[in-house]
Every structure is written in structure tokens, then in C-alpha cells.
């Protein structure tokens, strides 16, 4: 249990997501973790493993994008000596290495369609076959898959097998992007700042006593951070704070700490606001704005305009969130004003609406801007 607590401690904030992950840890079945790059999918997977019945077994990470397609089968399933030119000895595959433990398959959407059927067999029948062998080997592995893509959309476009999706998507854990964690952003940012301070701590600084205040972010600094969306999520936030801390603590940057932070944020804006990134955001924003516009013009309610397309996988979960946020912005961040916008009039419909959002892991109270509580 100590290992689990150690990993949970590395995840700052996200309490309701951690609670769901703890429940999933007790389930023997496979799990699909969904979230943008940098939200901490691997940390959650490791914490789930460390709290599961398999905690004493291996935790093996399989980074799909880093595996050359021609070596995919050899890397995942292993090979027999002499089965191809460079097979100079027998090799155990990554899935077999995870026997009696957990295999964390990162970016599962990147698996080529022709290889997906072999993954399906390993997941469904717990059997693999090394390259060059005729016999099958049984494996006792729990799989935790992760993706930053909408697999249901991929399945609709036939780039991802539906039977594999149904097999791995029974139990899901969605980790929201950092820009949607306004409710605990201060806790997350201060936690990372504190962690960075300890990593770069210099003995001559009395960290525990006289300078403790300097290892917390000021309200001004938090507002500067809140003004930025952090498309790279936790990974990007930690990178930004690390650069600020180093520049501030060793006096390599001129100016106050908040001025240093502004400069670093400006650099991040320049880096991330590329034409491609803006185009993707604008495309998603335009789609969501069109849905809201149609609702108003055609007097459609939430269930017709949003719920039905969502269950048909015509709207992704990220787009669902964005529509809710756009609706709240138009309603001046008032739930009372949001309901008529979505044509939700009866109290029973309101409860149904809240229950649906809750089931999707969306909590209106977590969607706040600055100091405005919902």
C-alpha cells in the first residue's frame, strides 16, 4: 500500500479523479485512460497498479509511438532466435514481461489497424505468440490503455477496431485538461512550485522557516498563470515553473518573480500559438459555437442538439465540455441562466441534466473563471 500512497502523492489536486481511480484499482478488468498529452495518464496508471491486487507484479510501459512498425510484433510479443535477420537470440516481449502484473499501453490509437487484431487476442484470450513460433503462450496481464484521441471517432472512421474498443473501453478514467481545473489550480500550481523548490533547494536557504513564503506563489502570480490555457497541461506548467524558479533563485533573470513569470508565459504563447494549433482550436470552437447557435435559432433543447449527437459519437467529450463552457460564458457563469439557453425548463429535466454531466465526469462547480464560483 505504501507504493500506492507514494504515487498518489505525486498527483497534485484532481481529488475526484483520484477517488474514481482508486475504485478502478479494485476492479480486475482492463481500463482505458483518456486525456490530453501532459495530464498525467501514466502517473494515474502506475497509482492504479500499485493499489491493485497486482501491486507486487511488474508495471511495464509500452510506448506505442516509439515502436517502429516493422518491429511492433517483436517488441510486444517477442521473437524466436533466427525468425528474422537480426533475431540473434530468443526475446521475451513487453506483454510477456508484464506477466502477473500490469501492461500500460500508451497512445493505443497509434497502433496500426493490422496489428490491432493481435492486441485484441492478447486482451481477450490472454494469449500471445512470439514471432517465428507456432505455439501460443498464456499471459496473466491486466492492461491499462491510454489515449489522447477520441477512440469512438477513430472507430467511426475505421482507423480503430470497434471490437477492440468495446473490449478495452468498458471502464474508463477521463482526466480533464489543466485549463478546466480552475477549482484546484492554485493547489496544483503551489504543489508543483513547492516540489520544484525542494528539487532545486540550496542548503544556504532556510527553506523550512524564514523563506517559506517565497516558495508559495502570490495571488498576482496565480492570476498570470490562470490567464494562460496550458495546452501542454501539467507537463508544461511544471516546465514553466521550473524555468521561473531557476531564473529567480539564481538571479539569472532580471526583474521581480512575477515579471520573470510574465516573460516565460509570453515565450510559451509564442511557441504554442502556431498556425496549426490555432487552426485546431478554432475548428473545435467553431463547431461548438454552431451547435449553440442552432439551438437558439431552431429552439432545440439540450437533448436534441447535444445529447443525441453525443451518444452517437458525433460530438466528443472534449467538445461536450467546450459547449458547456461556451454556454456558461454566454450565461455569465450562472447555472440559472444556462438552463433556459439549453431549453431545460422542468426541475426533473434539470436533475437529469446534472446526472448526465456527472456520469460524464463534468462538474459545473469545477468550471469557474478567476474568482467566479458556479
Sequence-distant contacts of 326-330: CB under 8 A, at least 24 apart: 326/288, 326/289, 326/292, 327/292, 328/364, 328/367, 328/374, 330/292
292 and 268: one domain? no
How does pLDDT run across 198-239, given as a tens digit for each residue?
A: 777 654 444 444 454 567 889 999 999 998 989 889 999 999
pTM: 0.71
How does pLDDT run across 82-107, given as a tens digit for each residue?
A: 888 778 899 999 999 999 999 999 99
79 and 170: one domain? yes
Residue 339, in any domain of the structure: yes
Show which of 135, 151, 176 is a domain's final residue: 176
8 and 125: one domain? yes
Residue 304, in any domain of the structure: yes
- Contact of 233 with 178, CB cutoff 8 Å: yes
Name, in order, each residue with C-beta under 8 angstroms of 55's C-beta and a sequence gap of 6 or more.
Answer: 3, 4, 49
d(CA 38, CA 318): 15
246 and 337: one domain? no
Terminal alpha carbon distance of the chain: 37
For residue 93, give the CATH number of its domain.
3.40.50.300
Closest to 20 in 3D by CA, of 203, 229, 11: 11
Res 369: pLDDT: 42
254 and 169: one domain? no
Residue 251, in any domain of the structure: yes
Residue 372, in any domain of the structure: no
112 and 205: one domain? no
Identify the domain containing residue 96 by its residue range: 2-176
Residue 114, in any domain of the structure: yes
HSE of 2 in the Cβ direction (CA atoms, 13 Å)? 0
Residue 41, in any domain of the structure: yes
147 and 205: one domain? no
288 vs 144, more confident: 144
d(CA 21, CA 49): 10
260 and 355: one domain? no
161 and 214: one domain? no
Residue 135, in any domain of the structure: yes
How does pLDDT run across 98-135, given as a tens digit for each residue?
A: 999 999 999 999 998 888 999 999 999 999 999 999 99
pLDDT band at 12 (very low <50, low <70, confident <90, very high): confident
157 and 263: one domain? no
300 and 263: one domain? no
The number of domains in the chain is: 3
Show which of 216, 239, 272 is a domain's final residue: 272
Show which of 134, 151, 176 is a domain's final residue: 176
261 and 308: one domain? no
Q: What mean pLDDT value characterizes the chain?
A: 84
How does pLDDT run across 31-51, given as a tens digit for each residue?
A: 999 999 999 999 999 999 999
Residue 278, in any domain of the structure: no
For the chain, percent of residues with pLDDT exceeding 90: 43
Query: Which is it for the CA torsion 167, 173, 174, 177, positive or negative?
Result: negative
Measured at the alpha carbon of residue 320, what is the angle toward residues 319 and 324, in degrees to the nearest 5? 115
Amino acid at each position: 500500500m505504501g507504493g500506492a500512497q507514494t504515487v498518489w502523492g505525486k498527483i497534485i489536486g484532481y481529488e475526484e479523479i483520484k477517488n474514481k481511480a482508486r475504485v478502478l484499482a479494485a476492479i480486475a478488468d482492463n481500463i482505458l485512460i483518456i486525456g490530453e498529452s501532459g495530464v498525467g495518464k501514466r502517473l494515474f496508471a502506475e497509482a492504479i497498479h500499485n493499489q491493485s491486487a497486482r501491486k507486487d507484479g511488474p508495471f511495464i510501459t509500452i510506448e506505442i509511438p516509439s515502436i517502429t512498425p516493422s518491429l511492433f510484433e517483436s517488441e510486444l510479443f517477442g521473437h524466436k532466435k533466427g525468425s528474422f535477420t537480426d533475431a540473434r537470440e530468443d526475446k521475451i516481449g513487453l506483454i510477456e514481461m508484464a506477466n502477473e502484473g500490469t501492461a500500460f499501453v500508451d497512445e493505443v490509437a497509434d497502433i496500426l489497424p493490422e496489428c490491432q487484431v493481435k492486441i485484441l487476442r492478447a486482451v481477450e484470450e490472454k494469449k500471445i505468440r512470439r514471432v517465428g513460433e507456432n505455439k501460443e503462450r498464456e499471459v496473466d496481464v491486466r492492461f491499462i490503455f491510454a489515449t489522447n484521441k477520441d477512440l469512438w471517432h477513430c472507430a467511426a472512421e475505421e482507423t480503430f477496431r470497434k471490437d477492440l474498443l468495446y473490449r478495452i473501453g468498458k471502464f474508463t478514467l477521463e482526466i480533464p485538461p489543466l485549463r478546466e481545473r480552475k477549482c484546484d489550480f492554485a493547489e496544483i500550481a503551489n504543489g508543483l512550485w513547492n516540489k520544484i523548490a525542494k528539487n532545486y533547494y540550496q542548503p544556504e536557504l532556510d527553506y523550512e522557516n524564514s523563506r517559506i513564503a517565497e516558495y508559495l506563489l502570490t495571488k498576482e502570480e496565480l492570476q498570470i498563470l490562470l490567464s494562460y490555457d496550458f495546452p501542454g497541461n501539467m507537463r508544461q506548467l511544471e516546465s514553466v515553473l521550473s524555468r521561473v524558479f531557476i531564473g529567480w533563485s539564481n538571479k539569472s533573470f532580471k526583474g521581480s518573480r512575477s515579471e520573470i513569470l510574465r516573460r516565460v508565459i509570453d515565450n510559451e504563447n509564442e511557441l504554442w500559438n502556431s498556425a496549426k494549433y490555432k487552426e485546431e482550436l478554432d475548428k473545435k470552437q467553431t463547431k461548438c459555437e454552431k451547435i449553440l447557435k442552432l439551438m437558439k435559432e431552431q429552439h432545440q433543447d439540450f437533448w436534441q442538439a447535444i445529447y443525441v449527437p453525443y451518444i452517437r459519437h458525433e460530438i466528443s467529450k472534449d467538445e461536450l465540455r467546450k459547449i458547456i463552457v461556451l454556454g456558461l460564458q454566454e450565461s455569465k457563469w450562472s447555472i440559472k441562466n444556462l438552463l433556459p439557453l439549453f431549453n431545460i425548463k422542468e426541475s426533473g429535466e434539470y436533475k437529469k441534466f446534472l446526472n448526465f454531466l456527472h456520469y460524464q465526469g463534468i462538474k459545473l462547480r469545477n468550471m469557474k473563471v478567476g474568482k467566479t464560483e458556479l
